[in-house]
């Protein structure tokens, strides 16, 4: 816990320096969190180039408006990863809406590989089944918070208000739930 507190303090200092226009502090934050942010975005959008764009946009937004991060609301790491996650989800929703509009406006193109689409749909369905099964394995309090966040699109602040819980409790349940899910999902992939 002491290490995390020191890292959080270092992050806050770097953000303060970015507010003052310090490019080196900005580069330090990017080196520190860029790979983690890209990994998160890639898990959501499933395309490397799109994940890279999302991370670039998030860091560009940080550079342009570093005061958007509020120390009193949580750690920089949580704020940045939340920003990246929201941008990734928004991109997926936009792409899905665009795809639906395109499909409803025109007949299936003859050059599309139907087999490839079936494989993608099957992989997606199997992933959903694994995630749902893993969700059933985590404690109910953690599952409830994750479902409200990821399936209902609610922020941690809204969830805290709705469930009448401290924001820190919601954040802890989110973190613990995600760690447990990751462990369960990785163990399932290893067994397959």
pLDDT tens column, 109-165 = 555 666 666 556 666 667 777 777 888 889 999 989 888 887 777 888 889 999 999
Residues of the chain with CATH 1.10.10.10: 119-192
Residues of the chain with CATH 1.10.1740.10: 1-102
pLDDT digits (tens, 9 = 90+) for 47-95: 888 899 999 999 999 999 998 998 888 899 999 999 999 999 988 888 8
What is the C-alpha separation between 121 and 117, in angstroms, rounded? 6
**Contact between 167 and 153 (Cβ < 8 Å):** no
Best CATH choice for the domain 1-102 from the list 3.40.50.1980, 1.20.1300.10, 3.60.20.30, 1.10.1740.10? 1.10.1740.10
What is the C-alpha separation between 89 and 43, in angstroms, rounded? 10
Conformational region of residue 114, where left means phi above 0, alpha means psi within -120 to 50, and beta covers everything else: alpha
**119-192 CATH fold:** Arc Repressor Mutant, subunit A (1.10.10)
């Amino acid at each position: 816990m002491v290490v995390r507190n020191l890292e959080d303090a270092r992050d806050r200092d770097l953000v303060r320096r970015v507010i003052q226009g310090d490019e080196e502090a900005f580069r330090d934050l990017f080196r520190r969190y860029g790979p983690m942010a890209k990994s998160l975005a890639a898990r959501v959008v499933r395309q490397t180039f799109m994940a890279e764009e999302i991370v670039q946009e998030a860091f560009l937004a940080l550079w342009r408006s570093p005061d958007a991060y509020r120390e009193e609301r949580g750690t920089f790491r949580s704020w940045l990863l939340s920003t990246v996650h929201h941008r990734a989800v928004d991109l997926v929703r936009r792409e899905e809406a665009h795809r639906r509009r395109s499909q409803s406006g025109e007949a299936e193109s003859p050059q599309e590989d139907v087999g490839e689409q079936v494989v993608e749909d099957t992989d997606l369905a199997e992933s959903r089944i694994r995630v749902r099964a893993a969700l059933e394995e985590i404690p109910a309090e953690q599952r409830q918070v994750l479902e409200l966040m990821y399936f209902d699109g609610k922020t941690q602040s809204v969830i805290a208000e709705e469930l009448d819980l401290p924001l820190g409790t919601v954040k802890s349940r989110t973190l613990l739930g995600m760690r447990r899910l990751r462990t369960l999902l990785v163990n399932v992939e290893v067994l397959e």
